[in-house]
Structure 1
Amino acid sequence: MAPRTAPDPTRRNERSRSAVLTAAYELVSEIGFGKLTIEAIAARAGVGKQTIYRWWPSKGAVVFDAFLTVNGHEGHFALPDTGDLAADLKTVLRLSIDDLADPAIDRTYRALNAEILNDPAVQAEYRTRLLDPLLEVTRDRLRSARAAGALAPDTDLDFAVELLYGPLYYRWMHRLGPLDHDHADRLVDSTLRALEPAAR
């Protein structure tokens, strides 16, 4: 008879964590953030409420973690560097627009934005795990372009990042028009015209 081995609590915890994140993401897509409860997440994931509260301080924190995990954003921030700055930035903005055009992602991200504005803990997680890493890799790509002479030598990289992402976020947040690849391309072209050496 084969000897019994004790269950691995690490493996069990990881299964439970994954189940919670999947349940949270599915439910917020189905019923919206306002109607979502910790009880509903726990029931769908097959865990107790205390398990969730042991790992996350709030409903917003669970949903944000689920958003990052399900969409593959956790720890995966990189911009292409093909030597063609315009093409590289268009690739990134087109992917961003594809995400925001997905109804499930759009609905979840809008709910998260309200939590980010109102919950300092969720805001800190958002800055640390999503926004700041994205801005930093973008600055790095612009920095290399500036060194290569593709941008004016006195280009303010923080301001350049705002020029690139700010209008996209504004258009999406206020539903001002369609978000498509053509819009992404025009946004990149306009930003680079403002930053190119000849413009100075």
Structure 2
Amino acid sequence: MGRGRTAAAAVGPPPAARHHGNRHGRSEQARQAVLEAADDLLVEKGFTGVTIEGIAARAGVAKQTVYRWWKTKTDVLLDAFLQDAAEALTPPDHGDLAQDLRAHLRQLALFLTRSDAGAVFKALIGHAQHDPAFAAALRSGYLDEQRRRDRLPLERAVARGQLAAGLDMAAEIDQLVGPVYHRVLMAAEPVDQEFTDRLVAAFLRRADVVDLADAGEAGSR
């Protein structure tokens, strides 16, 4: 995960290294400790095993401190996940669409299948099936924002003239990332690099995009 477990404890003067009750107020250090604790407990105990009391105890804060920021454990877990997603799932900019998409889809697959945040995501998706208000919060907090991030490689390519401006980006994003989510949430099949690279190759053929890396290799022969 991207928050840095050991570094956080070393920040600030010695009295702030541990959190007892509310005397540290709305400190960012305490908030990060709560987010870390929520992720850890979900991975260890599953969604039903996570409680506000357990989160507070693991983070070393009072229960009232947690309630200052969040009303429920799902609110804590959602914030933890949104922070991790923003850090890990912003696509890179290599100056080439093919490279950007390959890297982005590989990272998305790793994030959803091998990280604590991926376990949180699957738990939140399950909870959303039974809580319409939370489903709306998840949609607006993650899904809508992630679609904006997913579009970045295509928008950059349009600006470079590598991709036609009239492309239906929404439909293409669905075809690029949709199969990844399907395998993570529905199918017991691997989401490996070979799979994500095939998704990118199919897009490049559909959109008639020149793979600059391949073109450079061909030109050097």
| TM-score, scaled relative to structure 2 | 0.72
Unaligned runs of 5+ in 1: 1-6
Q: How many residues align?
A: 189
Moved more, 143-152 or 87-96: 143-152
Structural RMSD (CA): 2.8
Supply the distance in 2 between the matched residues of 1:77 and 1:10 (Cα, whole angstroms): 35
1:147-186 aligned within 5 A: 147-186=159-198
Unaligned runs of 5+ in 2: 1-15, 17-21, 211-221
**Is the contact between residue 64 and residue 122 of structure 1 (CA under 8 Å) also seen in structure 2?**
no
Q: Identity percentage over the alignment?
A: 39
Q: 1:58 aligns with which of 72, 82, 91?
A: 72
Q: 2:98 aligns with which of 83, 86, 105?
A: 86
* Pairing 1:35–2:49 present: yes
AA aligned opposite 1:84 = D
| TM-score, scaled relative to structure 1 | 0.78
CA shift, 1:190, in A, is: 1.0
Distance 1:86 1:197, change over 3 A: closer
Supply the distance in 1 between the matched residues of 2:115 and 2:88 (Cα, whole angstroms): 22
Q: 2:150 aligns with which of 135, 138, 142?
A: 138
Supply the distance in 1 between the matched residues of 2:180 and 2:194 (Cα, whole angstroms): 12
Supply the distance in 1 between the matched residues of 2:124 and 2:152 (Cα, whole angstroms): 27
Distance 1:112 1:154, change over 3 A: same
CA shift, 1:149, in A, is: 4.6
Distance 1:62 1:46, change over 3 A: same
Partner of 1:67: 81
Distance 1:191 1:52, change over 3 A: same
Partner of 1:3: none
